[in-house]
Amino acid sequence: MHAITVREPGGPEVLEWTEVPDPEPGPGEVVIDIAATAVNRADTLQRQGYYPPPPGASDIIGLECSGRISAVGNGVSSWEAGDEVCALLAGGGYAEKVAVPAGQLLPTPPGWDLIDAGGLPEVACTVWSNLVGVAGLRAGELVLIQGGTGGIGTHGIQVAAALGARVAATAGNPERLERCRELGAELAIDYHDKDIADQLREATGGRGADVILDNMGAAALADNIDRLAPGGRLVIIGLQGGTKTEIDLSTVLRKRASIAATNLRGRPTDGPDGKAVIVAEVRAGLWPLIESGRVKPVVHARLPLPEASEAHRLLGEGGVIGKLLLVNPNFGG
């Protein structure tokens, strides 16, 4: 098969379309003929040499995919060859085939194009596990989603609104702010504003945000704590603003606030905190919202998988709204 490999750590130009060995399904695994995958910011970090795959995972970039099962390993009874699926991966998505534990598979949602489903598992599992699982978001609460027009943001706004929460989202220009509103954000805030906390308190009778989903990390930590309501929950899922900072814990104590930081890739497949549990919860709780059309794909562009370097360049320029999909030109259709 062919896959995108990294010649050496560096810019988008180091990505190459090369021939690699076909994967074989191990016990409890299936092999998927990949229709599409998607570009995530973690992919760009791995390309630069900053985010290596966890032990045992493929060193090929790619954290999600869609396609058709072509082989089934021993011990797999709930899936069979020919099933159309999408999957959460620890790696291996930028390829024509991938082996993946069966517990990380999801059926392609009815009514969804198989290609579009290639950009669903990573955002679906990230948003659901953090907003519902970690933060316990409830109907009527206000959630602030940082980066409302990214892949996570466009999905998170829709999910939170579908769950009956009030949604605030940040973005960087009027066009992006309007897109947040179209997706279901009641309050769209320019992240350049200095008074985000005041705007949140004004919208909530002085309380602030009950939940914040943050992709910035250190640079936004103190401000995010200020933005929290009493009993608020801050969930950090990205470190675009750095890894180290200093905060005043007395504010956290006074607000009875909670701060969590999570990721998906390094989790084991099985166990109480594993990927299979998250995937099962997503299928039970989120898939009905997707099937009903209340949560829809937001796709910026589709590019051929061999042009992954161009997709990485586009993401790096900062103009992407939603997901960039990479389509396998040799998928059987």
Q: Give the count of domains, the chain.
A: 2
Spatial separation of the C-alpha atoms in residues 228 and 144, rounded to whole Å: 9
Residues 84 and 167 in one domain: no
Is 92 in the same domain as 134?
no
pLDDT of residue 205: 96
Q: Does 332 map to a domain?
A: no
Closest CA to 267 of 79, 126, 68, 146: 126
Residues 173 and 295 in one domain: no
Q: Are residues 290 and 242 in the same domain?
A: no
Question: Are 93 and 173 within one domain?
Answer: no
For 191, the domain range is 124-261
Output 309-314 pairs: Cβ under 8 A, ≥24 positions apart. 309/12, 309/13, 309/14, 309/15, 310/12, 311/39, 312/12, 312/15, 312/39, 312/43, 312/44, 312/47, 313/12
333: in domain: no
Is a pLDDT exceeding 70 seen at residue 333?
no
In 3D space, the residue among 109, 87, 107, 23 whose CA is nearest the CA of residue 59 turns out to be 23
pLDDT of 163 over the 70 cut? yes
CATH number at residue 79: 3.90.180.10
User: What local confidence, expressed as pLDDT, does residue 332 receive?
Assistant: 84
**Has residue 144 been placed in a domain?**
yes
- Which pair of tokens denotes residue 203? 């919208």
Structural domain contains residue 316:
yes
The residue out of 203, 235, 261 marking a domain boundary is 261
Q: Are 276 and 103 in contact (CB under 8 A)?
A: yes
With pLDDT > 90 as the criterion, what percentage of the chain qualifies?
97
Residue 194 is part of a domain; what is its CATH number?
A: 3.40.50.720
Please give the pLDDT value at position 135: 98
Give domain status of residue 137, yes or no.
yes
* 167 assigned to some structural domain: yes
pLDDT digits (tens, 9 = 90+) for 251-299: 999 999 999 999 999 999 999 999 999 999 999 999 999 999 999 999 9
Q: Are residues 29 and 71 in the same domain?
A: yes
Region 200-215: what's the mean pLDDT?
Answer: 97
CA–CA separation, 248 and 252 (whole Å): 7
- In this structure, the answer to whether residues 246 and 181 fall within a common structural domain is yes
Mean pLDDT score, 220-245:
95
Q: Tell me the mean pLDDT in the region 212-234.
A: 96
Q: Pick from 322, 319, 329, 333: which is nearest to 39 by CA?
A: 322
Last residue of a domain, one of 207, 236, 261: 261
Q: What is the pTM of this model?
A: 0.96
- Mark whether 278 and 301 lie in a shared domain: yes
Instruction: Report the pLDDT value the prediction gives residue 282, as an integer from 0 to 100.
Output: 98
| Helices (H) then strands (E): counts for the chain | 10, 15
Write b or e for each residue in 167-178: b if 16 or more Cβ atoms lie within 10 A of its Cβ, otherwise e: bbbbbeeeebbe
Q: What is the pLDDT of residues 42-52, one digit of tens each?
A: 999 999 999 99
Do 257 and 131 lie in one domain? The reply is: yes
What value does the CA radius of gyration of the chain take, rounded to a whole number of Å? 20
Q: Is residue 114 a part of any domain in this protein?
A: yes
Residues 130 and 241 in one domain: yes
Question: Is residue 15 one of the residues assigned to a domain?
Answer: yes
Tell whether 232 and 286 lie within a shared domain. no
Residue 86 CA to residue 66 CA, distance in Å, equals 4
For residues 67 and 128, membership in a common domain is answered with: no
Q: Which of 261, 296, 319 is the last residue of a domain?
A: 261
Percent helix, strand and coil across the chain, each to the nearest 5 = 30, 25, 40
Kindly list the distances between the CA atom of residue 299 and the CA atoms of 82, 163, 259, 322, in Å, as whole numbers in the listed order: 26, 22, 31, 5
